[in-house]
Amino acid sequence: MEDPAAPGAGSPPANGNGVGNGSGKGKPVAPKGREAFRSQRRESEGSVDCPTLEFEYGDADGHAAELSELYSYTENPEFTTNRRCFEEDFKTQAAIQFSTQKMHVQGKEWLELEEDAQKAYVMGLLDRLEVVSRERRLKVARAVLYLAQGTFGECDSEVDVLHWSRYNCFLLYQMGTFSTFLELLHMEIDNSQACSSALRKPAISIADSTELRVLLSVMYLMVENIRLERETDSCGWRTARETFRTELSFSMHNEEPFALLLFSMVTKFCSGLAPHFPIKKVLLLLWKVVMQLLTKQDSLDIYNERDLFKTEEPAAEEEEESAGDGERTLDGELDLLEQDPLVPPPPSQAPLSAERVTFPKGLPWAPKVRQKDIEHFLEMSRNKFIGFTLGQDTDTLVGLPRPIHESVKTLKQHKYISIADVQIKNEEELEKCPMSLGEEVVPETPCEILYQGMLYSLPQYMIALLKILLAAAPTSKAKTDSINILADVLPEEMPITVLQSMKLGIDVNRHKEIIVKSISALLLLLLKHFKLNHIYQFEYVSQHLVFANCIPLILKFFNQNILSYITAKNSISVLDYPCCTIQDLPELTTESLEAGDNNQFCWRNLFSCINLLRLLNKLTKWKHSRTMMLVVFKSAPILKRALKVKQAMLQLYVLKLLKIQTKYLGRQWRKSNMKTMSAIYQKVRHRMNDDWAYGNDIDARPWDFQAEECTLRANIEAFNSRRYDRPQDSEFSPVDNCLQSVLGQRLDLPEDFHYSYELWLEREVFSQPICWEELLQNH
């Protein structure tokens, strides 16, 4: 993919808040430049006035917001087209159909029909989708889309539209609409005529993707409405939801899972073979399908193993990157950098029993210790006191002074073994003893099935997603050779007035924001699920993201005014679904274009920023080579500017990224950023013997980064080969050594065998002398 430009260009010099000079010897600041230097320091420390953002992180935005983002403002006239197609079909076909079935529905509208009559009409719609004519088929598909959109022509309020949209989607699913539209989607993907027509056009518009947009919209509405769980749902709807989830998760009728079809659409779009694909709708549907396959993202944050050092609800194994940790340790009402540095834990965090480890004073958590930390501590102690080491032995303490014994005891009390450590150890055992341990039993979970399907094309999938993310990033400049992600937002006729241009500009910016939101959420969801399923699946995806320049791409994204990006108002509330279907559209004026919501921030943009920061944390944690990439690309000033946003969760993940690289930034940087250092100490969980604030840790020494990645890659390839590449004639296949069973096997011999058998014995066996000495020497 295109190599993103170094994001550190134009950043402050190293003797200020830069990264390059670690010696602490910067040039003196001239008197006339002192005020500018102080202003730069204040800006870097996050002292710019910004209100505290009342943001609640979750799997997705509100139901209405998620539905509205499916449509671009350019598509709004099509709502009327869908309604007209439905009403024409309902008046003509439904009258004939109901009269033959002796149903008395004369003069009734859709919402007035009995459920049986509604099902009968839907069945007729699906039958009419079998026609050969593309034009007639499109009209019927639009009628189905109108049902999925809530039959808004018969509704009086937005609440009614959302209610009937959900009702109709369940009804459509129960009648087999999703599988029918899946077949139509296969046909449109393989439509070579549409692809070649789009390739010949100098400019692609929204008209080139009409059929695909209708199909994808119906499927998205069904996935999103069925995914939504409410307490008032009937037993039938709950059963339908679980059945739908199973259909999306597993291969049905010997076909690949639906998510893989959408991934193939993404790669086909990025390869330039299908530039007319409505990529925003594809990405939104792919994200929601993966979410419907799998456990919800916020559930993963509290699902994994229990942490004995926490007294509240059990958080995920990856607590340093979970939402729960940030929300529990940070007060969302206050700016993180302005909180009291020593706040005692509230009474609710008191230990539940005397056996629990007590919290350190002022910090509402206990530090964790890895096995590697204990081994490293004992290695240093043995070298110092007895002059030799014992490898990975952490039990023998002979010859060490009593304080070392106490230190080892304390370290072991805080020892934390993650699921990833257990999986890595099990994998080492399986590699060493493949015969004695037998074949591994791998549960066929939805996550496992998805990984198996993605395995051989996963590098292409990751590169394609990052290409689209790069094209949608606000810091990217338009290039002639970059992919066109605006095919499903540009109208057939370009705007001719200033107001139309303003509307299109808002629509394009909104379109890009939604793409960034869907890709960031999708990548984070994949990483979290694959890490829970197996650590090497997570590492495989992570390494290909790193190889595709994901780290500099995310840094390039943050090398902008993040506060402006988060507070951007690229929306026109009167044009959002379902509002635009109920109210008459006002005359296009400057006031109506600027009349957006009154929120102090854009939910999707803040959601995207947090997702990208979490993604960056996952890619760099415990990876020294990738941490050095943060240093080389001068990420410190970029990340520090993001601290201006007063949102606790975002600030937490920024501080985590700063923490892992502080030892590489030099004494002068740490001296100039003591407020940030204090915030890191106060808000980020630490490890015992973690000298993150100093440069004397062994991890800060020169490191063979290439060897680190190569070793990881070898382990990943061994895992994939052992589990997924299983040839029948393997060297570990069992051999039958029983003479009786071997001689008793029936062999099919050629028909002329008995004619030449005696001659062959005489020539090849009886007439040939046997040299026993040579036979023994050869063996």
Strand partners, 369: 415
**Tokens 């210790």 — which residue?**
369
Closest by Cα among 570, 644, 638 to 604: 570
Q: What is the pLDDT of residue 696?
A: 63
Q: What is the pLDDT of residue 1?
A: 44
Would you tell me how many other CB atoms lie within 10 Å of the CB of residue 420?
18
Residue type (1 letter), 660: I
Q: Distance between CA atoms of 552 and 545, rounded to whole angstroms? A: 11
* Tokens standing for residue 547: 């190889």
Q: Distance between CA atoms of 146 and 85, rounded to whole angstroms? A: 8
Would you tell me how many other CB atoms lie within 10 Å of the CB of residue 640?
20
Q: Block means of pLDDT (10 residues each) for the chain, length 779 residues?
A: 41 35 38 45 49 90 95 94 93 69 67 90 91 90 96 93 96 95 93 84 88 96 94 93 90 78 95 92 96 62 40 37 36 38 37 45 74 88 87 86 91 90 90 78 90 94 96 78 85 88 92 97 96 95 96 96 92 89 78 72 95 97 91 94 94 95 90 93 85 66 75 94 71 64 74 76 80 69
Q: Is residue 498 within 8 Å of residue 455, measured between CB atoms?
A: no
Angle at 184 between CA 182 and CA 187, to 5 degrees: 115
Give Cα separations from 65 to 4, 55, 490, 549, 573 (angstroms): 31, 15, 22, 31, 11
Coil, strand or helix: which one is 687? strand
Closest by Cα among 27, 37, 18, 9 to 664: 18
**Tokens 């023994």 — which residue?**
776
Residues 6+ apart with CB under 8 A from 5: 556
pTM, rounded to two decimals: 0.81
User: Per 3-state DSSP, what percentage of the chain is helix, strand, and coil (rounded to 5)?
Assistant: 60, 0, 40
**Tokens 């791409």 — which residue?**
553
Coil, strand or helix: which one is 573? helix
Would you tell me how many other CB atoms lie within 10 Å of the CB of residue 736?
8
Q: Which class for 644: exposed (0-12), middle (13-18), buried (19 or more C-beta within 10 A)? A: buried
**DSSP-assigned letters across all residues of 119-139:** HHHHHHHHHHTT-S-HHHHHH
b/e code 46-77 from CB counts within 10 Å (16+ = b): bbeebebbebebeebeebbebbbbbbbbbbbe
Q: What is the pLDDT of residue 32?
A: 42
Q: What is the pLDDT of residue 617?
A: 97
Residues 6+ apart with CB under 8 A from 537: 451, 530, 531
Q: Distance between CA atoms of 108 and 118, rounded to whole angstroms? A: 11
Q: What is the pLDDT of residue 100?
A: 59
The set of long-range contacts for 691-696, using a CB threshold of 8 Å and a minimum separation of 24, is 691/663, 692/659, 692/660, 692/662, 692/663, 693/662, 693/663, 694/663, 695/22, 695/663, 695/664, 695/666, 695/667
Q: What is the pLDDT of residue 589?
A: 77
Q: What is the pLDDT of residue 505?
A: 92
Q: Is residue 611 within 8 Å of residue 650, measured between CB atoms?
A: no
The set of long-range contacts for 92-95, using a CB threshold of 8 Å and a minimum separation of 24, is 93/124, 93/128, 94/121, 94/124
Closest by Cα among 644, 645, 678 to 662: 678
Q: Is residue 544 within 8 Å of residue 458, measured between CB atoms?
A: yes
Sign of CA dihedral 567, 569, 573, 577: negative
Which element (helix H / strand E) includes 464?
Answer: helix 458-472
